[in-house]
Amino acid sequence: MSDAESMMHGGFVSALDLPDVPSSKLPHHLDLRRTRVLCNSVAPDNTDTVQYSGAYASMGVDNSLRLDDFRNNFKVNVNRLTADEMEFDMVGVDPSLANAFRRILLAELPTMAIEKVFIANNTSVIQDEVLAHRLGLVPIIVDPRHFDYLSENDRPNEKNTIVFKLHVRCKKGDPRGTVKSDELRWLPKGSEFLKESGASASNTKAETYTSFNFSQDSMPEFSDNPIGVSPGIIVAKLAPGQEIELEAHAVKGIGKTHAKWSPVATCWYRMLPEVVLNEDIKGDMAEELVKKCPASVFDIEELANGKKRATVARPRACTLCRECVRDDEWERRISLCRVKDHFIFTIESVGALPPEVLFTEAVKILEDKCERVISDLS
C-alpha cells in the first residue's frame, strides 16, 4: 500500500501496518486525524482540531502554533471574481479563524440601510410598518466608509444620513401598478418634509427632518457617482386611485443589530473535499459509480485494453452527500475526506462594496479586535 493510500484509509489503518516514518513527523493515522475530517457512510468523523501544543510531544512532534509556520503555509487563491461574487481558497488557517471571517462579514461590517420612514400618504393595501420593513431591506449602493454612525444625540446631517423620496400614484382608469425600488429618488440636500412644529410665522426657515450643511452631491465622492439603491426590487402594488408618498432615511449600522445592514447576501465556506478510490473500479462498476454521484465527481477513462475505469475527475465538486459510500462494499472502495485547514470561501455582496473589498475590511476588523485584546492584556 502506498503512503497516500494508507493515509486515505484513515481510521481503518492499524499502527502496526504503518510504514516507517521519519521521527519528526506523525504516523500516518495520526496525521490523517490531525489534518482531515473523515467522512464515512453514517456521518463525518474526527471533526475537531487538535490545539494543545504538547499533544504529540511523546512522539517528538511540536504541535504549537508558530507565526513563521503560519506565514509559510497561509495562502489565498482567488478562483472566481465578479462584481458581486467571489470564490477563493484560503489555505493554512484553523476553522475558528475561517468562521471568524464569515461572522464578521455577516454581522460586523457596516453598510447604510433605511432606518426611518416618514409616511405622508399611503392608501395602498400594504400597511405602513410592512412597507417600512420592506424598504429597510432594499440595499443602498454606497460606500459606507464615507459616512459616520448616527448616535442618539446627533442631528441627521450630510455625514450620517441619506434621504430618499418615494412618490408614486396609480391613476384611476390605469391598470394595477407595481412599485419597484428604482422609484426611490435620492435627495442630496436632505429631507423636504417640514416638521409640523418647526414652521411658524416668525421662523425665517422652516425646519425639516434633517440638518444638511451642504448638498451631498457636492462631495467629491458622490459628484460623479450618485447614491442609488439596488434596482428591480418590488416594494408594493398599487390599484387605481392608490398613492404612496414618503421619505426614507438611511443610516449606518451593522448586521448584528439587524440583517438589513449585512453587506452580504450570504457568505459561506466548505472544507476542500478529497475523494480517493482505494482500488481500481472497472467495467460495469465504474458505470454504476458515475451514476451514483449527483455532483459528477467521477468520470470514466478508456484503458489500452479497451476496458473502462472510473477516475476522480472533479473532487472539488463533491458535496459530501455520501451517496457513493452508502453500503459497506462501496465504503471500502472509496475514501471521502475534508482537509481541515483548506477552505473554499464564497462571498456574495449585496452591492454596496465589491466582495474583495468586503474581505479586506473583514481582515481589518479582526486585526482591530486582536489589537484590543493585546492592549487589554498588556
Query: Among 97, 98, 321, 357, which residue interacts with ligand SF4 (rule: CB under 6 A)?
Result: 321
Task: Considering the complex, state which of residue 117 and residue 275 has its C-beta at the smaller distance from ligand SF4.
Answer: 275
Tell me how many degrees the CA angle 135-141-146 measures, rounded to the nearest 5.
Answer: 115
Task: Considering the complex, state which of residue 199 and residue 317 has its C-beta at the smaller distance from ligand SF4.
Answer: 317
- Any idea how long the chain is? 378
Q: With beta carbons less than 8 A apart as the criterion, state whether 124 and 113 touch.
A: no
Query: Among 297, 337, 347, 362, which residue interacts with ligand SF4 (rule: CB under 6 A)?
Result: 297
Shortest CB 320 distance to ligand SF4, Å: 5
CA 145 to chain centre: 19
Does residue number 112 form part of the binding site for ligand SF4 (CB under 6 A)?
no
Grid coordinates belonging to 236: 408594493
Query: Among 26, 162, 184, 336, which residue interacts with ligand SF4 (rule: CB under 6 A)?
Result: 336
Q: How far apart are CA 80 and CA 91, in angstroms?
A: 16
Grid coordinates belonging to 41: 457512510
Shortest CB 46 distance to ligand SF4, Å: 17
Q: How far apart are CA 161 and CA 250, in angstroms?
A: 6
- Map grid coordinates 475561517 to a residue: 98
Query: Among 13, 166, 318, 362, which residue interacts with ligand SF4 (rule: CB under 6 A)?
Result: 318
Which positions ≥6 away from 43 have C-beta within 8 Å? none
Q: How far apart are CA 295 and CA 286, in angstroms?
A: 15
Q: With beta carbons less than 8 A apart as the criterion, state whether 261 and 110 touch.
A: yes
Name which of 268, 180, 187 is nearest 230 in CA terms: 180
Does residue number 8 form part of the binding site for ligand SF4 (CB under 6 A)?
no
**Which SS3 state, helix, strand or coil, does residue 76 take?**
strand
Of 80-88, 101-109, 173-181, 318-326, the segment contacting ligand SF4 by CB under 6 A is: 318-326
Task: Considering the complex, state which of residue 158 and residue 331 has its C-beta at the smaller distance from ligand SF4.
Answer: 331
Shortest CB 102 distance to ligand SF4, Å: 23
Query: Among 51, 266, 319, 360, which residue interacts with ligand SF4 (rule: CB under 6 A)?
Result: 319
Name which of 233, 215, 9, 253 is nearest 109 in CA terms: 253
Shortest CB 309 distance to ligand SF4, Å: 16
Shortest CB 86 distance to ligand SF4, Å: 24
Does residue number 320 form part of the binding site for ligand SF4 (CB under 6 A)?
yes
Q: Write the interaction track for ligand SF4 spanning residues 248-287; mark x where CB under 6 A is met and - where it is not.
A: ---------------------------x------------
Q: Which helix (H) or strand (E) holds 32?
A: helix 28-35
Q: With beta carbons less than 8 A apart as the criterion, state whether 187 and 164 touch.
A: yes
Grid coordinates belonging to 298: 467521477
Of 109-117, 153-161, 248-256, 321-329, the segment contacting ligand SF4 by CB under 6 A is: 321-329
Q: How many residues bind ligand SF4 (CB under 6 A)?
A: 13
Shortest CB 326 distance to ligand SF4, Å: 9
Q: Which residues bind ligand SF4 (CB under 6 A)?
A: 275, 292-293, 295, 297, 318-324, 336
